Structure 1
């Protein structure tokens, strides 16, 4: 998205920024209502740009913006506002000052991240204390909004994630504008959500740009750090479609050189999803997806694992009826598909053998 704004678009976004400032002032003046007001503001700036605003911002006569980003996602208000605060940095100073006074509120870092994530890397800050404070707020806010997407199985903040990957993580000159700890935290954050936002094709490049970690001799290199963060993320996921999405993408880890301890950690994580009941209580689809991923990444010991799992299943007789039913249903389905395939192939041979 270009950061060049037409006068009409700049005036409109300036008015929006003024409304944001007024709402922040109200949140600061009313301690009892501040959380609700910040939550409303967060929801407003995360909305997709409506038709009325599109006519003003996406000027068709002087093509400045496209209606969608390069990933085919519709722009949200935070996208265009982030560009606006890069074009007119001073317009966001009062908003930042108000957010700083509201740091303790749960949605303050989210709002700061969405509005100023581009300004953090494209506008210079001379005050080191300011950089340290804003860096931690950026990472915390990004983590919160990405988890919001996970909980709703949406991709509303994909543009923020892709910006952090391609325009920050892959560009060392920008990455160095934030504190070293924030640099490491951003890479840990990207490791956790890389699969969720369908950017696993950038994995190899991401690993090459990993910053140095002070305890690398204990935790391993970039592949080990990435896999460890991914395993922790899998353990925390509670939304079934999201977990299935992760398990379907995890096969890209094949061939990654990691330590034995890291490999065992990932194997244990996947194995925890293969059995019904506690502590994970996975559904049948999740169990099968976990088995597929486990067998693909760790083919050695595949059959002993299944045999051991079968005998452990015998210890839980209350799961026998459902297991038997699913087994019978799978057999019937397989037989039915085989019969249909045989009929279709026979019919095709007969039609081809008929004289013209």
Structure 2
């Protein structure tokens, strides 16, 4: 739960909201500049709260909210603005109206999501058409900002993800505040990024909360849907660290084959994925862990096809030699350290 806003903090955030409103009005008045203006606005509200703003917004007893959020991401302006628009909903009405007029522009849904994601679930909306429209924009904006974290290898929007996961997907009374289609889209979205934001400890309870899908008899249950979405979102972090989280899930053969194919595509250099060497090794490790049957034939077949491309031989030989030298060096160092510990260990009578 966020700390209550002091009058000083409310006045400061009100001034920030006014600046957001003015920039949106400028974007609406200048169609040729709207994309650049919205991009600047998106970057501004995604910035970390600076020290001067912290002194204004937070009291000393609220210092816990100023520190990192526990997931490696500092407190950002969109965090405090989202709380502000929940505490004073009417202050965001004009901003929402302006964003609606800019729906077709890039970054409009991103800005809406960052500013009003809490208001969507904590403030009542009576108009069904409004709920449908806002629900779609919310999920689309969340998808865009999570992809921004993937592309920049950061987790600036982890607090947004944690809110959707813990305070929405696992709380049915809040989840029902958005349209059924948006509920399904939100679960698919969370499935793709669950491992990226280091929240795999919630996987079991998350799968139990999955909504009903109309074509479930074709695509399978919650585990199949989860793995299917994850297969389309495979990244180095998932392959390298999170393969154990997938092990043991009861999924269909078709889903298992899709995941295996997706991982296998990252094991070969060149197109269509053009993976780096680290990614290729991570993909092999994930394949060997998740699908141990056929491990050695896979490697033999891969080696055979690598031999058909002689331009890869020099780099492969060089990496092999470097790996052998490192292995020998580590073995020698380990032997020297273990010998030193035995020699310096005090003898007991």
What is the TM-score of this pair, normalised by structure 2? 0.95
State the distance in 1 between where 2:263 and 2:279 align. Answer: 10
Match of 2:232, SS state, is helix
1:293 aligns with 2:297: no
User: Cα offset for 1:26?
Assistant: 1.2
Q: CA deviation at 1:353?
A: 8.7
- Residue 310 in structure 1 maps to residue 309 in structure 2: no
The corresponding residue for 2:65 is 66
Alpha-carbon distance, 1:355 to partner: 10
After TM superposition, give the deviation of residue 65 of structure 1 in Å: 6.5
Q: Deviations over 1:22-53 (max 9, x none)?
A: 11111111111111111111111111111111
- Counterpart of 1:240 in structure 2 is none
- How many residue pairs are counted as aligned between the two chains? 347
Q: CA deviation at 1:141?
A: 0.5
Partner of 1:228: 228
**1:262-301 Cα distance to aligned partner (Å, 9 max, x none):** 0011011111111112211211111111111110111111
Q: What does 1:83-162 align with in structure 2 at a 5 Å threshold?
A: 83-162=83-162
Change (3 A) 1:4 1:310: same
Aligned equivalent of 1:209: 209
Matched, 1:26 2:18: no
Q: Deviations over 1:138-190 (max 9, x none)?
A: 00110111111111111111100000000000001000000000000000100
Q: How does 1:158-173 map to 2 (within 5 A)?
A: 158-173=158-173
Distance in 2 of aligned mates of 1:87 and 1:337: 58
The residue aligned with 1:277 is 270
1:4/1:64 contact within 8 Å kept: no
User: Distance between the aligned counterparts of 1:177 and 1:3, measured in 2?
Assistant: 24
Does structure 2 retain, via aligned residues, the 8 Å contact 1:191–1:229? Answer: yes
What's the counterpart of residue 183 of structure 1? 183
How far apart are residue 343 of structure 1 and its match?
Answer: 3.3
Cα drift, residue 351 of structure 1 = 4.3
Whether contact under 8 Å (1:8, 1:56) holds in the other structure is: yes
Match for residue 244 of structure 1 among 220, 229, 236:
236
Q: Distance in 2 between matches of 1:109 and 1:265?
A: 31
CA distance in 2, matches of 1:176, 1:51: 38
Contact 1:25–1:98 (8 Å) recurs in 2 = yes
Partners in 1 of 2:51 and 2:237 — Cα distance?
A: 32
1:66 to partner: Cα distance: 2.2
For the residues of structure 1 that align with 2:334 and 2:64, how far apart are their CA atoms?
A: 51
Given the superposition, is the C-alpha separation of residues 341 and 48 from structure 1 closer, same or farther in structure 2, using an over 3 Å criterion? closer
What is the alpha-carbon distance in structure 2 between the residues aligned to residue 346 and residue 64 of structure 1?
A: 49
Distance (whole Å) between structure 1 residues aligned to residue 348 and residue 260 of structure 2 = 59
Q: Distance in 2 between matches of 1:65 and 1:158?
A: 17
Unmatched tracts of structure 1, length 5 or more: 235-242
**Whole-angstrom distance in 1 between the partners of 2:19 and 2:130:** 25
Partner of 1:338: 331
Structure 1, 182-191 or 323-332: larger mean CA deviation = 323-332
Q: SS where residue 301 of structure 2 aligns?
A: helix
Mark the runs of 5 or more structure 2 residues left unpaired by the alignment: none
1:345 and 1:45, CA in 2 relative to 1: closer, same or farther beyond 3 A?
closer
Secondary structure of 1:22's counterpart equals helix
Counterpart in the other structure of 2:36: 36
Please state whether the residue corresponding to 2:243 is helix, strand or coil. helix
* Residue of structure 2 in register with 1:51 after alignment: 51
CA distance in 2, matches of 1:3, 1:348: 52
Task: Please say if residues 42 and 107 of structure 2, whose CA atoms lie closer than 8 Å, have aligned partners that are also in contact.
Answer: yes
